[in-house]
Amino acid sequence: MVGAGGGLRNCGVEADYRSDRNDMVADFYLPALAVATRYDRAVGYFAASVLATIGHGIDEFADRGGTMRIIASPYLEVEDIKDIQAGYELRDVLRRAALRDLEQAVEEHRAARGLGKLGRLVAENRVDFKLAYVEERGRVGMYHEKIGIFRDSQDIVAFKGSANETRSGLVGNFEAIDVYRSWDSRDTDRAARISRDFEDLWHDRTPLLRVLPFTEAAKQVVERSAQLTAGRYDLDDIPTCGAPITTSAQPPAGVLVIPRSLVVRDYQKEAVQSWFHNKGRGILRMATGTGKTLTALSAAAQLGSFLRKNDSNASLLVVVVAPYQHLVDQWAEDIEWFGVTPLRAYESVSKWSPRAHNLLQNLALGGTKGGVIVTTNATFGGDSFQSLLDAYEGRLLLIADEAHNLGARHLRTQLPGKAQYRLGLSATPERWFDEEGTDALTDYFGEIVFEMGMGEAIRRGALCHYTYTPVLVELDEEEAELYAETSAKIARLIASGTDLRESADRDSPLGRLLKKRADIIGHARGKLSILREELEKRRDTSHQLIYCAEGKHPILHEHGIEGPRQIDQVMDLVGNELHMTAARYTSETARPARQDILRRFDRSELQAISSMRCLDEGVDVPASRTAYLLASSSNPRQFIQRRGRVLRKAPGKDRADIVDFVVVPPQGGDAIQYETERSLIRRELARVEEFAHLAENEADTLDVLRPIRERYGLFDT
């Protein structure tokens, strides 16, 4: 960003900006605010939440004595319209609507922080608000124009376009703006005209429009927000270069410190800030691959620093719970990067329990100021670990990786009530067909305090772009018949009153039938020949993941026949037939062998890895370029995890390819099976549309499915 001395003409402002090419905030707003002395904005809808987005720019703007004028049209709800129609004083209704937005912003921690930043400008009478509306023939309408002007001592930058001054308008929607620079002879007249238009608006000289003062009404709300946020712990000092945050040259033993080489992304700072604003509790709903682990460890490091600033004798125990042993090992590596050798608690109790008790004793006696224990879900839920937690009386931060797993009945009852600080991490915190478990997670960890979906992650460069290719695989006649029979049994169970919550229990009659039906789709025999065709296209490339169905084909079980698993067939195809270097990565693979496989895959010594579920949660495979989804359940968590796995960024990687095997019924089925087949297609389409809408080739993807939609009349899906 250019410093204040550079002026508007030297801050790199371009002639236009568009969401597919630019980041509106980083590329335009912040550089302009960094050098401007005045900012005028007239928009259809100004939401206070935008101030959280451009908050850093407002700080610099305020430091230079900048002034701001805002004209906006308040958002009117149904009740507001009714009041206007009933003859209520129009000005009062408009003020009430605008104040409602400000009050809501105070309640939303992300928006409140930005709104609070206006407190200084308000106190020094350097920001003014006015409300605009259309009044013609007794009817009230919204002002929808969107113009803005940045000024310095000699130049102006005027702009107009589609972006509202709202958080979604700046960072969520697809927008475009045109920019006019006063020093460019091609833009001079247009820039001056936009400036005059704003002055006419401000002084209520524009025909058809009425403009009312609003600053005094807003002043109390803004000042209150500034007071509320003044005492909050502010993370603006998390440096983008990753310099550690500590008041001493050598941090105490056992204390997490942000490593110098870590670049903390802006959205990660925002996530940590949101968690602090919620008093150290909450869930981060972040897309797979966006760095939940590093965000959580940054939060833990900041929490420890904050506690020590307020009490030099403060200590903190951090307990990280992850689903599997290999994820514990991954966490341990990152924790060591943050300066602490963690205690890994899994497998034999005799190996970790004495060391864990020693750590807790040292914390209690003040011999150490911090410590980290990383454990698996299984060990965490066991009596030994629970006894350890029961004995600890100090400050405790519990971090739950893939937190949705802890909503299971046997684990949620073990969550320690004494943990003062709680942080849940998950791309998909909602439990599939388990509202009770989902509610238990929210009750314990708190609300979702930060969200970053796949689309925003791709747009902000946290994940790479991708192409998506659905390939159609027909069930053979035997599979289609078994699928129809199983669906009929499911329908009869549901019709008889079976509780749908049983679907989450694989050992229940309904759960077993649902699994069987999913297995028929996952093991569809036609997939192997199509996989061969797809692999042959990429026979000379590396970094390919193949997700296989678990177990064996249900038809083999039906007839009591021994036969190869799908993953065995895939490995035979890849290695023996196509002569590609490959390895399998499953729960049966020893832990040292898993690490070796991932290293060889990263170095291109292996062209492909075949797996079932072991790569679904948490395993870092950023080098992967292509993923073949032979099996994807209807559970959104699984296919979201798998997509995120291949979209992770890596050096030299700018795009990923996802090939999805979409199962469809054979052509020529009878009318009796029509609805069953239609339901199958509908379930498959739900996944396809989720993948397609963020893909670079969305239109091509949807064209592949057009014949199937026509056959089954599913254009409404």
The tens digit of pLDDT for each residue in 364-373 reads 988 899 999 9
Inter-axis angle of helices 266-277 and 292-310, nearest 10: 50
Average of per-residue pLDDT across 110-130: 67
**Predicted local distance difference test score (pLDDT) of residue 360:** 94
pLDDT band for position 502 (50/70/90)? low
Task: Calculate mean pLDDT across residues 546-574.
Answer: 88
Residue 540 lies in a domain: yes
Percent of the chain with pLDDT over 70: 78
The pTM assigned to this predicted structure is 0.59
The pairing of strands 396-400 and 316-322 is parallel
pLDDT tens-digit map of 125-158? 788 888 888 766 556 666 777 899 999 989 999 9
289 with 405, same domain?
yes
Q: Give the mean model confidence (pLDDT) for residues 416-433.
A: 86
What kind and span of H or E run contains 656?
strand 655-664
Domain boundary among 184, 214, 230: 230
In this predicted structure, what is the pLDDT of residue 45? Answer: 58
Determine, yes or no, domain membership for 371.
Answer: yes
Kindly report which listed range (27-41, 240-254, 263-277, 451-465) carries the lowest average pLDDT score: 240-254
Residue 571 has pLDDT above 90, yes or no: yes
Alpha carbon distance 655, 650 (integer Å): 10
Q: Tens digit of pLDDT for each residue in 376-421?
A: 999 999 999 999 999 999 999 999 998 988 888 888 889 999 999 9
Average pLDDT of span 200-216: 85
CATH assignment at residue 219:
3.30.870.10
How many CA atoms does the CB half-sphere of 91 hold within 13 Å?
A: 7
Q: Is the pLDDT of residue 25 over 60?
A: yes
Question: Which tokens belong to 326?
Answer: 């290999």
CA distances from 164 to 48, 79, 666 (A): 12, 23, 50
Share of the chain above pLDDT 90, in %: 35
Beta-strand relationship, 608-611 and 582-585? parallel
pLDDT, tens only, 338-356: 999 999 999 889 999 999 9
* Same domain, residue pair 158 and 290: no
> What's the pLDDT score for residue 616?
53
Residues 301 and 432 both lie in one domain: yes
Q: Do 203 and 295 share a structural domain? A: no
CA count, 13 A, side-chain hemisphere, 113: 21
Instruction: Give ∠ CA 423-425-428 in degrees, rounded to 5.
Output: 140
Give the mean pLDDT of 429-441: 78
CA atoms within 13 A on the CB side of 522: 25
- Displacement of CA 389 from its chain's centroid (Å): 31
Alpha-carbon span 684 to 663, nearest angstrom: 7
Whether the Cβ atoms of residue 46 and residue 54 lie closer than 8 Å to each other? no
Shared domain check, 70 and 119: yes
Q: What is the pLDDT of residue 338?
A: 92
CA distances from 189 to 181, 184, 194, 231, 494 (A): 9, 10, 9, 47, 71
What's the rounded mean pLDDT across residues 54-66?
Answer: 70
Question: What is the helix, strand, coil percentage profile of the chain, to 5?
Answer: 45, 20, 35
Any idea how long the chain is? 717
Q: 657 pLDDT band (50/70/90 cuts)?
A: very high
Q: Is residue 701 part of a domain?
A: yes
| Residue 68 and residue 38 in contact, taking contact as beta carbons nearer than 8 Å | yes
> CA dist 190 to 18, 68, 185, Å?
20, 21, 10
Instruction: Give the chain's mean pLDDT.
Output: 80
Q: Which of 459, 491, 512 is the last residue of a domain?
A: 459
CA–CA distance from 392 to each of 301, 359, 411, 601 (Å)?
20, 10, 19, 42
Predicted confidence at residue 166, as pLDDT, reads: 40
Q: Does 296 share its domain with 210?
A: no
Per-residue pLDDT reduced to its tens digit, 10-19: 988 999 988 7
**Residue 76 or 64, more confident:** 64
Q: Is residue 512 part of a domain?
A: no
| Domain span holding position 699 | 465-475+526-712
582-596 pLDDT per residue, tens: 999 887 888 778 888
Q: How much is the average pLDDT of 25-34?
A: 82
Q: Are both 290 and 218 inside the same structural domain?
A: no
pLDDT-based confidence at 63, cuts 50/70/90? confident
Amino acid identity, position 33: L
Measured between alpha carbons, how far is 12 from 34 in angstroms, rounded to an integer? 11
Same domain, 401 and 433: yes
Q: Is residue 239 part of a domain?
A: no
> CB-hemisphere CA count at 13 Å for 464?
22
Give the residue with greater pLDDT, 166 vs 267: 267
Residue 499 is assigned to a structural domain of this protein:
no
Among 172, 205, 230, the domain-final residue is: 230
Residues 433 and 471 in one domain: no
pLDDT for res 524: 93
Choose the most confident range, by mean pLDDT, from 134-143, 155-164, 471-480, 678-687. Answer: 471-480
Which pLDDT does position 231 carry in this prediction? 40
pLDDT the model gives residue 163? 46
Q: What is the rounded distance in angstroms from the CA atom of residue 303 to the CA atom of residue 385?
A: 24
pLDDT at residue 618, rounded to an integer: 54
Q: Which of these, 123, 146, 150, lies nearest to 38 by C-alpha position?
A: 150
Let me know: does 480 contact 670? Beta carbons within 8 Å. no
Q: How many other C-beta atoms can be found within 10 angstroms of the C-beta atom of residue 372?
A: 27
User: What are the tens digits of pLDDT across the range 210-254?
Assistant: 888 877 666 666 665 555 554 443 334 433 333 333 333 456 778
pLDDT of amino acid 320: 97
* Ordered strands of the 396-400 beta sheet: 343-345, 370-376, 316-322, 396-400, 421-426, 281-286, 448-452
Residue 612 lies in a domain: yes
Q: Determine the average pLDDT of the residues in 161-174.
A: 46
- How much is the pLDDT for 399? 97
695 in the same domain as 668? yes
The CA radius of gyration of the chain, in Å to the nearest whole number, is: 29
Contact indicator for 25, 54 with CB cutoff of 8 Å: yes
Gap between the Cα atoms of 111 and 48, Å rounded: 6
Average pLDDT (430-437) is 73
Locate 517 and state its tokens: 């039906």
Helix, strand, or coil (residue 137): coil
Looking at the fold, whether 338 and 414 belong to one and the same domain comes out as: yes
The predicted pLDDT at position 234 comes to 39
pLDDT of residue 49: 43
- Assess if residue 694 is contained within a domain: yes
In angstroms, the CA 184 to CA 290 distance is 41
The CATH code of the domain that includes 329 is 3.40.50.300
- The residue-averaged pLDDT of 497-522 equals 77
- Burial class of 453 by CB neighbour count within 10 A (0 to 12, 13 to 18, 19+): middle
* Beta carbons within 10 angstroms of residue 671's beta carbon: 6
Residues 297, 409, single domain; the answer is yes
Specify the number of domains making up the chain: 3
Across the range 537-552, mean pLDDT stands at 91
